[in-house]
Structure 1
Amino acid sequence: MHKIPLYKQIYQSIKDRIQSGELRPKDRVPSEQEFMDEYKVSKITVKNALAALVDEGLVNRIQGKGTFVSSTPSLAVQKNAPTPAPTSSGYIGLIIPTMKTMVIQKLVDYIEFYIKAAGYQLILHITRESSLEESRSVQELTGSPGMRGIIVFPTEDESYNESLLRLSLDKFPFVFIDRFLRNIDTYRIISDNWGGAYETVSRLLQTGHHQIALISPANTNTTIEDRTLGFEKAFIDGNIPIDKSLWCHVPIEILRTGDTYAHLVNFLHHHPQITAVFALTAEMARLTYRALNQEEGLNATTHLVSFDDPEIPNLPHILQDEECMARSAVELLLEQFGGKYTPQRVEIPVKWVSG
């Protein structure tokens, strides 16, 4: 016999109390915390149960006051009404630029897990780093029956997208994850990119490395911007002159034509004074490692550090908490489903791995 999911148990318990008359029209339903304590479950589980009741018209949620039984008698008291078969509460869209990186792969996996646990189904769109495709995805998803909200991992090189701005203006439930657009005030889940970069460069400076190269994709999105700023601030706080000629932000057109490796090799050859490299992405770390170890004239002993795990044995790196990011994104969507709308930036701590 299959065990009934906890959110359905809570849902059915409240529904039974309404239909039996124990909870009458306009009565206040116990709080989320009371259900969490009684059933020993997370807030997501309780929110999902209440969302299902809202969808059926059995209860109303009033922001700042609580959840109340509907004042409509025909919905509130139906003692002999058959219980419908459990169904999904709807759909949640996820828009991502690619599936190539381990970080995004983990985010998709965890987001799907927490969306399913909350009783929803995931619809995935991949933009392949195209802002045009991103706009099309937003329009298609928002026009889909049963679509409750969207999680968006923005494209690499955009600073403005009218479709995303419209979501914010219309207060359609959505959350930015990993990257975000600074001109759009909405919910944002990000890693501590600035802090991770600051800690990494501070460690390198403390061990005597002053000629530190920065290698990354073009500085066109909030993730790379924040990591670059953290890099710079470590030099400033260490009162050490910074040589920005050692910064290699690979232009978008080179990234897209596949000439990134040749570009990095040329950069490293022209800066033999480099003693350490901080790669701001795992892909850049892998390309740099290959160049340092395979190209004649480059120093294989150059100290290499990566933001994100490049899957190179013993290479020091900063590790993001993709599960926490995914869980937080789903929680913020569920808050919006319940009528709460308080845009905020949630920064998830990162972890230094010494290799």
Structure 2
Amino acid sequence: MVKKFTPMYKKIETFIIEQIRNENWKPRSRIPSENELAEQFGVSRITVKNALTTLVDKGVVYRLQGKGTFVSDHSPEDISNISTEEKAAHTVPVIGFLLPRLDNRFTANLLSGIEDSLSGNGYQLLFAKTNDSQEHEILRIQEMKQAGVKGLIIYPVEGEHYNNEILSLTLNRFPLVLLDRELKGVDTNSISSDNYAAAMQAVNHLHELGHSQIGFISTLAEGTSSIEDRLHGYEKALEDRHILIDRGMQMTKLTMTSSDDEVIAMIQQFLKANPQMTALLSSNFSPHVIQAALQLGISVPEDLSVVFFDDVEYPDFCIVPPTAVVQQELELGREAGRLIMEQIENRSSEYQQIKLPTVLVPRQSTAKARKTNRTP
């Protein structure tokens, strides 16, 4: 028989009820504090708070502001009639998570990290895709609110400048964390990688290999803070190296709705227009870049060095194992979960913008620069 899993907050509820039932804790006596119970069970204060909130609703204990939690007036027989399973379905707090798509290792690890953080603290996760559509995103937010979620983690769609629903959540102080993005003019909590520093890492790596004609490719940068930060970091690194910024070697117009053939055709047109380019930072569609180059007879890395933003799942099985800027996907998810729980517990009213460092992993898609013989 498979043993039924019992969340930690339910175990804490059971422990408290047993202490009262066995008359170890008398009516009107103060029970251990949230911190003491959290240390005893090895959990966060949020988990303890969830257990105590349920017991307050059941009338088992009551709280006095600034003084603590106390046992209510009742007989041991009354306590014996209280089931720790009662109202369980209604008292488990639920967090909503909106993600544009779930189609790669990066997004899967984000989801896994959030689940790791929430499930260990007595929370449930309600997940939905927005399919790269702001209209779908607005609808999903409305549905999540109607479902009674206690907080939302949102990975905004690309190119998003403004969303009335997100602004409304912020103005109403609804617990909210933006993941991988920041929205201009919207003050709220956010978790992302340090994309600016990551781009500088990538350019410095290429420059150390002797490259000075370095291009940049991505989806639309405007309105997507992560892409904007990468582009700005790329340009700042060129400037620091006294390399002239040539915006003809920047293509920031790829779209997630384009087919693979359309993306490859656009990349090939870009490569043909820039025969002087010996290296390239690819913020999106990185495997397509190598495929497009090879189809044109451009060798990677001999003729063109390529740095991926985000790693691939099995780099050693790629035609050319890619040099990649690797993000801490699981930790990004875990931090998003931690921050949304902090807001629900109302530990701090101050907004936090957290940026996690990245790591550049050199592989076989980058090499020392050599004079290119490519022609337009």
- Scaled by the length of structure 2, the TM-score of the pair is 0.82
| Rounded Cα–Cα distance in structure 1 between residues aligned with 2:27 and 2:346 | 23
Determine the structure 2 residue equivalent to 1:348.
Answer: 356
Determine the structure 1 residue equivalent to 2:288.
Answer: 287
Determine the structure 1 residue equivalent to 2:53.
Answer: 54
Determine the structure 1 residue equivalent to 2:245.
Answer: 242
Distance 1:99 1:5, change over 3 A: closer
The gaps in structure 2 that reach 5 residues or longer are 364-376
- Scaled by the length of structure 1, the TM-score of the pair is 0.86
- The alpha carbon displacement at 1:94 in A equals 1.0
**Could you say what secondary structure the match of 2:150 adopts?**
strand
Determine the structure 1 residue equivalent to 2:344.
Answer: 337
The more displaced of 306-315 and 189-198 is 306-315
| Rounded Cα–Cα distance in structure 2 between residues aligned with 1:225 and 1:154 | 14
Report the residue type matching 1:206 in the other structure: E
Report the residue type matching 1:138 in the other structure: I
Determine the structure 2 residue equivalent to 1:142.
Answer: 145
Determine the structure 2 residue equivalent to 1:316.
Answer: 323
Q: Deviations over 1:198-227 (max 9, x none)?
A: 111111112210000101111030110111
Is the Cα contact below 8 Å between 1:285 and 1:310 reproduced in 2?
no
Equivalent positions of 1:207-222 (< 5 A) are 207-220=209-222, 221-222=224-225
| Rounded Cα–Cα distance in structure 2 between residues aligned with 1:173 and 1:61 | 25
- The alpha carbon displacement at 1:36 in A equals 4.6
| Rounded Cα–Cα distance in structure 2 between residues aligned with 1:293 and 1:336 | 49
| Rounded Cα–Cα distance in structure 1 between residues aligned with 2:193 and 2:95 | 22
Determine the structure 1 residue equivalent to 2:110.
Answer: 107
- The alpha carbon displacement at 1:342 in A equals 2.3
What fraction of aligned residue pairs are identical, expressed as a percent?
A: 27
| Rounded Cα–Cα distance in structure 1 between residues aligned with 2:221 and 2:26 | 57
The more displaced of 203-212 and 333-342 is 333-342
- The alpha carbon displacement at 1:31 in A equals 4.3
Equivalent positions of 1:160-179 (< 5 A) are 160-179=162-181
| Rounded Cα–Cα distance in structure 2 between residues aligned with 1:28 and 1:244 | 66
| Rounded Cα–Cα distance in structure 2 between residues aligned with 1:61 and 1:103 | 45
Q: Deviations over 1:89-135 (max 9, x none)?
A: 13221111112232112212332333332223222221111111111
Report the residue type matching 1:308 in the other structure: D
Which one has the largest radius of gyration? 2
- 1:152 corresponds to 2:133: no
Distance 1:205 1:90, change over 3 A: same
**Could you say what secondary structure the match of 1:104 adopts?**
helix
CA RMSD of aligned residues (A): 2.8
Report the residue type matching 1:262 in the other structure: A
Distance 1:325 1:209, change over 3 A: same
Q: Deviations over 1:269-313 (max 9, x none)?
A: 0101111111013xx2111100111224x3432111111013443
Report the residue type matching 2:277 in the other structure: I
Distance 1:72 1:2, change over 3 A: closer
| Rounded Cα–Cα distance in structure 1 between residues aligned with 2:64 and 2:135 | 37
Is the Cα contact below 8 Å between 1:189 and 1:346 reproduced in 2?
yes
